[in-house]
Structure 1
């Protein structure tokens, strides 16, 4: 009987996936018994538990999250839809510990600011135009082939979003410069970026600087020429003989910071290429975001940073809301197949300190 129920869940999930984009998963149906919703959700995300006691404990967390999500969707006050993402059996504290970086000030410290000022003096010619196009318009680098598939950082609870964001920005630039899509190794960036850039968090600017250094030395690896991503920071193997030589045909010469808190400057940059950005993802609804409409951060969202994403486009929603298009690294079961459209005027700090590589 248990096996039959599992297959039913899988069939229902497949039917939902085959339907029009945004179709809810069967376990998102509030009319389904909670135990059945949990079983269907487990089948969809591949969740298993060590024993019956752990499953029972996780079920209670799942129940509380599902009831909160159902109530929020029923109230109709949100500009988007919540759902049972892969984080549905985690408490808020567990989610924060496993998937977000430690909170940091939204602005960089003075020492980092001095370093960026030095970099900018040598790279002013790489700044995007001072103003973006007069009309808001739209840009989606996915449509132009400059965005690789969404990845999932969640192996061994590794908070490596900073590496994936930097890699996504660089992949976009390489496509623009060469016409070729070249998936890069986030594992290499995790292993080889020094300092406090680890599975406990890191810095997109330092990751981009490492990528530039590795590129200049011919050590920038593709995702197939370095060891597969395993969610653990290991010994840097770039150039050691244990990693194959890269086929990346572009030399990344440096990193350019976008003017902090300047949304027009960010739009001008994204008009030219994908951009890496820090943000605040601690809103309770963020982990349950399933799309449908544009996400709007709370009034307090954006006063700190604890996550990193790639800004791969911008546009205007059907209700007239301007948005940034974000590529996340939480897999395709979160958000709109791994992406989020977030309101420009409530963007949780996306525009606070973005950066991009240049050639």
Structure 2
């Protein structure tokens, strides 16, 4: 058991290191030395991100890009446990990012009273000691199961993060219960879940309610994502051919140990404050802020771990979180956010502990719940 855990930790470390290296476009002093070198870097960025700009707009975009590049390079010289990156927002101002990719969750951090206090008790400290040291549902073989996480998806300019987060959680529990990882339809939620507001925002708990009431959700292949709402639902009200069902959902008490317990069992949806420049332009490492607790974005926690520095004082605990901005953002679409942050123990960093939930699915003997009924 100890050897298996050690191997799992080594695999997790290797995975996150590789992901960080793969996602970051390095900026050197040479790149910033002249207009010509900056133009060359901008052209590389456009090619890497498959971006085409109209001739009349390209000069303005370049001016934004070079200011972002200088800001990011200056930030990355600091002794901070994470780096910024010229990611998909490389030639956009903060105002443009806010306007185009702003709030996609309709949760407000002060919209409801807490069900429980977030402070850790002696019992929860003991519970923490019984938890795995590291969890990563992306890994084949974690907990002797197949992966419970599909590829990172890309929401584009549709404010549907709530739907992506909910679908990732349902994909996770379905894989855990059936040992069959199936990519499910975000588009069905955007078009058919009238309790949420499609590309204008929503929340994952509403999505879970829709899936329960409707009797399931289609696959991505059957109902693919188009990046906007169709304007009408393309599945019947009671579709007998739905692929994956859930039986309910639960809310996670707002404390760190409760979230760790939930994540050790399955991927979990969380709401966060993702409005800061640092969050949007995150490129890798353990994010430590700045951020507040305005819950404007929903994502899916797929694991947790600790960095592997030799100096124990420099080790950092973190959450592994799947975003929906495509693999060009962060660590191939993921972010590691610091956990066990004493100064924000009640809310967690960026409000991660305030509003977490996960779908419930019972395993039915003899039923393959991932095969479409013909």
Interval containing the TM-score (normalised by the shorter chain)? 0.7 to 0.9
CA distance in structure 2 between the partners assigned to 1:307 and 1:172 by the alignment: 20
CA distance in structure 1 between the partners assigned to 2:235 and 2:128 by the alignment: 38
Using the size of structure 2 for normalisation, the TM-score is: 0.77
1:72 aligned to 2:75? yes
Q: CA RMSD in A?
A: 2.6
**For the Cα contact (< 8 Å) 1:197–1:203, is it kept in 2?**
no
Q: Which whole-Å deviations, capped at 9, do the CAs of 1:163-217 have from their partners, x for residues lacking one? A: 0000000000000110100110001111112134221221111112112223xx2
**For the Cα contact (< 8 Å) 1:99–1:159, is it kept in 2?**
yes
Q: Which whole-Å deviations, capped at 9, do the CAs of 1:221-269 have from their partners, x for residues lacking one? A: 010111433333531122269x893333xx3111101012x11110010
2:231 corresponds in structure 1 to 234
Matches within 5 A, 1:1-359: 21-23=19-21, 28-32=27-31, 33-49=37-53, 51-74=54-77, 76-101=78-103, 105-109=108-112, 131-134=127-130, 137-143=133-139, 144=142, 145-154=147-156, 157-214=157-214, 217=215, 219-232=216-229, 234-239=231-236, 245-248=241-244, 251-260=245-254, 262-291=255-284, 293-298=285-290, 301-318=291-308, 319-344=314-339, 345=341, 347-359=349-361
CA distance in structure 2 between the partners assigned to 1:212 and 1:131 by the alignment: 31
1:8 corresponds in structure 2 to none
CA distance in structure 2 between the partners assigned to 1:244 and 1:212 by the alignment: 13
Cα distance change on mapping 1:277 and 1:21 into 2, 3 Å: closer
**For the Cα contact (< 8 Å) 2:321–2:335, is it kept in 1?**
yes
Using the size of structure 1 for normalisation, the TM-score is: 0.80
CA distance in structure 2 between the partners assigned to 1:234 and 1:107 by the alignment: 31
**Structure 2 portions without partners, runs of 5+:** 1-16, 32-36, 117-123, 309-313, 342-347, 362-374
**For the Cα contact (< 8 Å) 2:164–2:186, is it kept in 1?**
yes
**For the Cα contact (< 8 Å) 1:158–1:231, is it kept in 2?**
yes
Q: What secondary structure does 1:329 align onto? A: coil
**Structure 1 portions without partners, runs of 5+:** 1-18, 118-127
Q: What secondary structure does 1:81 align onto? A: strand
* Displacement after TM superposition at 1:280 (Å): 0.4
**For the Cα contact (< 8 Å) 1:212–1:255, is it kept in 2?**
no
* Displacement after TM superposition at 1:317 (Å): 1.2
**For the Cα contact (< 8 Å) 2:266–2:302, is it kept in 1?**
yes
* Displacement after TM superposition at 1:21 (Å): 4.8
**For the Cα contact (< 8 Å) 2:301–2:320, is it kept in 1?**
yes
CA distance in structure 2 between the partners assigned to 1:166 and 1:245 by the alignment: 20
**For the Cα contact (< 8 Å) 2:131–2:261, is it kept in 1?**
no
CA distance in structure 1 between the partners assigned to 2:240 and 2:158 by the alignment: 25
Q: What secondary structure does 1:212 align onto? A: helix
CA distance in structure 1 between the partners assigned to 2:84 and 2:303 by the alignment: 22
Q: Which whole-Å deviations, capped at 9, do the CAs of 1:299-344 have from their partners, x for residues lacking one? A: xx23211111000001111242111100000111111111111001
